[in-house]
Structure 1
Amino acid sequence: MTSRGLLTLLALPWLLLPAGPTAATEPVEWRLAHYLPERHFFASGWLREWVESLEAASEGRLRIIVHPNNTLLRLNDIAPGVREGRAELGFGPAPSSPALSVLGLPFMADSAAHGTRIALRLLADGMLDDDLSGLHVALLQTNAPSLLHTRSTPVRRPEDLEGLRMRGATPDIRALLAALGATPVEGFLAPQVYGALRDGHVDGTIFPYEAMGVFRLAEQLDYHTEVFLFVSTLGLFINEEALAALPPDLRDVVLSHSGETQALAAAQAWDDEEHRGRGLATAAGNTVLTVDGSALAAWRAAAERHTHARLAAIAAEGTDAEALRKRIEALTVAARRDLQSPDAAPHR
């Protein structure tokens, strides 16, 4: 055999190898859609750390491509889009359900930690099964409660809202503002509220304290009325078919990053940001107005008009809304006890 023939023979095994990584060695890529700006505390903090932990635990076999700020799926399309497979993962509002609608009524939840415990009990009791079909719930939580923020005018009681133009993000929030006595205003996305306040298009808004950080609203506000009105339920959802398609050991990695521990840690991150946001407001020289006694009773009475309207709408869809309300009110008491908070917290 010539030397050239010998070299050719020796090279054959290498020539038969694939030119690059095989499909079996390439990582599984999942798209994560969420609505938060990249600089939002949760997107740049807890959620980013969750993604990094998941990827590390998979030893590089699972890669998460993050699509923030509504770039892949819009806010209210996140959970449906994940269910339909337009993204494998999504963080955003939980699908609408009677139980979560009642949880979002005024004065139901005191904090993200409190609201999350209620949401987790609803999930464990199977009260959300139909609404979450097709989705694996990696976490279910609420944000911190929204409160009133105003420019120039202090608001201590509902009658102080009369004539004030208050920005409301959704029809339900605007209905609540109207029930409280304000003039609701629509048409401004969250990042536009800073300019709307500065330019005099609105007199105030309703947000958790987190907005003082990500949207710098403390710079355009003077008063913060601590009547904690409602929470919104959020979730980190996974397409069930995408999860089932993973190898068993990789599926176990995903499942180990799901559940109550994850949800409570996420809720704590939201509550921590509330403390920071309140600090930003006071550091800006703004006035925090606490609410108790007869003023709190007046806020509850005004909000009850909105609550009755919402319960009537839920009942019209075939749900025993009053029974559901009593059930969730019982859960609020139990969750508050778990948190070792007094049942009659002064501003709740």
Structure 2
Amino acid sequence: MSAFAAALSLGMVPTLGVAETLKVSTFVPPNHAFNVMLKSWGEELSQSTDGALTLEIFPSGQLGPAPRQFDLVASGAADIAVVLHAATPGRFPVTELVAMPFTTPTVGDDSAAMSQRLTEIAPDFLAAEHEGMKILWMAVTPALKIHLTEADPSTIDAFKGLRIRYAGSTWQQIIELLGASPVPVPPAGTGDAMSKGVVDGASFPFEATKSFDLAPMMSYSLEPGIASATFAVIMSQAAFDALPAEMQALIDETTGPDRAAAFGTMWDTGEAEARDYLVEAGVNVVSMPKGEMAKLKELLTPIRTALIETVSGKGLPAQDFLDAYEK
């Protein structure tokens, strides 16, 4: 129980003034893990303040598409938003290092461990590229898999000539090194693009294939995943500063590394459930043979080398950040 909730239980209700409703923007569908967690968090805030602090969630890009989420908060059109860093390549160069192939903390490669670790180090390394924002928590997806309409991805050669939906410069490079063509498609438009043959596949965690109901368009998925995507749940610092001190304290108590770990656990659970969803729908979940996987890792190594050099060349602490994340 938070200190604020404890005060309520003892009948010591702080003076909050008028009720506060925070407008939350997401670009993912209502059943996505982000909206589930945000709804749960909103209920927690409301219960702890006797209804004085509530969230109004606008899912599915109602307020704007994925690339505009940060700017929606910056402009005041939303108070809180879920930002996909890969949706605006180059805007968050240090954060995007997490999305390099096979980059994980030693404590674990599950979403819970990765999200908690990234949230822990965000104040030291990521505040500058989220200027004007309060980072409520960071989220790192389970590593994205490649999902294909027809081709069996058990070998690297199988990707040659395919068109694959991607988000972010790192995945663009991955797809190009595989000999395929990267095609930018909004997340919500992926199913339509796959069904019409605009693309032959897409890169997503298993969980997203269920959220966007992609199984009917798929024949194969490749596991394990290759590279994760990063998100930030951000709040306008100005909107936070305008809240009563008691509400600020409650937000601080209910966000941060613990919330990141809880969200990651939810995502890990959803990932396992979505894998079952694909299998039950008749999708073949396959793995590369050991030798082929070794070739894949070697093939993708230059992405990491080049990206670290590029970010370091901008005077940014690329290696220090990675040392802190991967330790």
- Mark yes or no: TM-score above 0.5: yes
Amino acid across the alignment from 1:34: T
In structure 2, what is the equivalent of residue 36 of structure 1? Answer: 28
- Mapped to 2, the partners of 1:123 and 1:107 lie a distance apart of 20
Q: For residue 173 of structure 1, report the CA deviation from its aligned partner.
A: 2.2
In structure 2, what is the equivalent of residue 151 of structure 1? Answer: 149
Counterpart pick for 1:205 among 191, 198, 202: 202
Number of equivalences:
304
- Mapped to 2, the partners of 1:76 and 1:311 lie a distance apart of 24
Deviates more, 1:293-302 or 1:107-116: 107-116
1:203-239 deviations in Å (ceiling 9; x for gaps):
2111110122111111111111114121122122122
- Mapped to 2, the partners of 1:156 and 1:40 lie a distance apart of 29
- For the pair 1:58 / 2:55, whether they are aligned, the reply is no
- For the pair 1:232 / 2:224, whether they are aligned, the reply is no
Partner SS, residue 268 of structure 1? helix
Correspondences of 1:256-275 after superposition (within 5 Å): 256-275=253-272
The 8 Å contact of residues 118 and 328 in structure 1, kept in 2 or not, is answered as: no
In structure 2, what is the equivalent of residue 135 of structure 1? Answer: 133
- Mapped to 2, the partners of 1:213 and 1:132 lie a distance apart of 30
Amino acid across the alignment from 1:174: Q
Which structure 2 segments of 5+ residues have no match? 1-15
In structure 1, what is the equivalent of residue 59 of structure 2? Answer: 68
What TM-score do the two structures reach when normalised by structure 2?
0.84
- Give the structure with higher Rg (CA): 1
The 8 Å contact of residues 145 and 223 in structure 2, kept in 1 or not, is answered as: yes
In structure 2, what is the equivalent of residue 103 of structure 1? Answer: 98
The 8 Å contact of residues 143 and 224 in structure 2, kept in 1 or not, is answered as: no
Amino acid across the alignment from 1:259: G
The alignment-based identity, stated in percent, is 22
The 8 Å contact of residues 120 and 256 in structure 2, kept in 1 or not, is answered as: no
Deviates more, 1:145-154 or 1:56-65: 56-65
Deviates more, 1:288-297 or 1:101-110: 288-297
In structure 2, what is the equivalent of residue 8 of structure 1? Answer: none
Amino acid across the alignment from 2:116: R
Q: For residue 81 of structure 1, report the CA deviation from its aligned partner.
A: 3.1
Q: Measured at CA, do residues 100 and 173 of structure 1 come closer, stay the same or move farther in structure 2, by a change above 3 Å? A: same
- Mapped to 2, the partners of 1:115 and 1:285 lie a distance apart of 30
The 8 Å contact of residues 179 and 306 in structure 1, kept in 2 or not, is answered as: no
- For the pair 1:319 / 2:313, whether they are aligned, the reply is no
In structure 2, what is the equivalent of residue 181 of structure 1? Answer: 179
The 8 Å contact of residues 150 and 224 in structure 1, kept in 2 or not, is answered as: yes
Q: Measured at CA, do residues 270 and 288 of structure 1 come closer, stay the same or move farther in structure 2, by a change above 3 Å? A: same
Q: For residue 293 of structure 1, report the CA deviation from its aligned partner.
A: 2.3
The 8 Å contact of residues 197 and 220 in structure 1, kept in 2 or not, is answered as: yes
- Which aligned runs of 4 or more in structure 1 are off by greater than 6 angstroms? none
Amino acid across the alignment from 2:230: T
In structure 1, what is the equivalent of residue 113 of structure 2? Answer: 114
In structure 1, what is the equivalent of residue 161 of structure 2? Answer: 163
In structure 2, what is the equivalent of residue 244 of structure 1? Answer: 241
1:109-164 deviations in Å (ceiling 9; x for gaps):
3331232133124225x111312332222212212211111122111232221122
The 8 Å contact of residues 119 and 256 in structure 2, kept in 1 or not, is answered as: no
Amino acid across the alignment from 1:274: E
What TM-score do the two structures reach when normalised by structure 1?
0.79
Partner SS, residue 94 of structure 2? helix
The 8 Å contact of residues 119 and 233 in structure 1, kept in 2 or not, is answered as: no
Partner SS, residue 202 of structure 1? coil
Partner SS, residue 129 of structure 2? coil
Q: Measured at CA, do residues 196 and 74 of structure 1 come closer, stay the same or move farther in structure 2, by a change above 3 Å? A: closer
Q: For residue 105 of structure 1, report the CA deviation from its aligned partner.
A: 0.4
Amino acid across the alignment from 1:108: T
Q: For residue 285 of structure 1, report the CA deviation from its aligned partner.
A: 1.8
Q: Measured at CA, do residues 315 and 180 of structure 1 come closer, stay the same or move farther in structure 2, by a change above 3 Å? A: farther
Q: Measured at CA, do residues 41 and 315 of structure 1 come closer, stay the same or move farther in structure 2, by a change above 3 Å? A: closer
The 8 Å contact of residues 134 and 239 in structure 1, kept in 2 or not, is answered as: yes
Which structure 1 segments of 5+ residues have no match? 1-23, 335-348
Amino acid across the alignment from 2:27: Y
Q: For residue 178 of structure 1, report the CA deviation from its aligned partner.
A: 0.4
- Mapped to 2, the partners of 1:329 and 1:219 lie a distance apart of 41
The 8 Å contact of residues 207 and 271 in structure 2, kept in 1 or not, is answered as: yes
In structure 2, what is the equivalent of residue 26 of structure 1? Answer: 18
- Mapped to 1, the partners of 2:66 and 2:213 lie a distance apart of 21
Partner SS, residue 297 of structure 1? helix
The 8 Å contact of residues 80 and 234 in structure 2, kept in 1 or not, is answered as: yes
The 8 Å contact of residues 27 and 61 in structure 2, kept in 1 or not, is answered as: yes
Partner SS, residue 253 of structure 1? helix
Amino acid across the alignment from 1:283: E
Q: Measured at CA, do residues 216 and 73 of structure 1 come closer, stay the same or move farther in structure 2, by a change above 3 Å? A: closer
Deviates more, 1:88-97 or 1:238-247: 88-97
Deviates more, 1:259-268 or 1:138-147: 138-147
- RMSD of the TM alignment (CA)? 2.3
The 8 Å contact of residues 113 and 264 in structure 1, kept in 2 or not, is answered as: yes
Partner SS, residue 197 of structure 2? coil
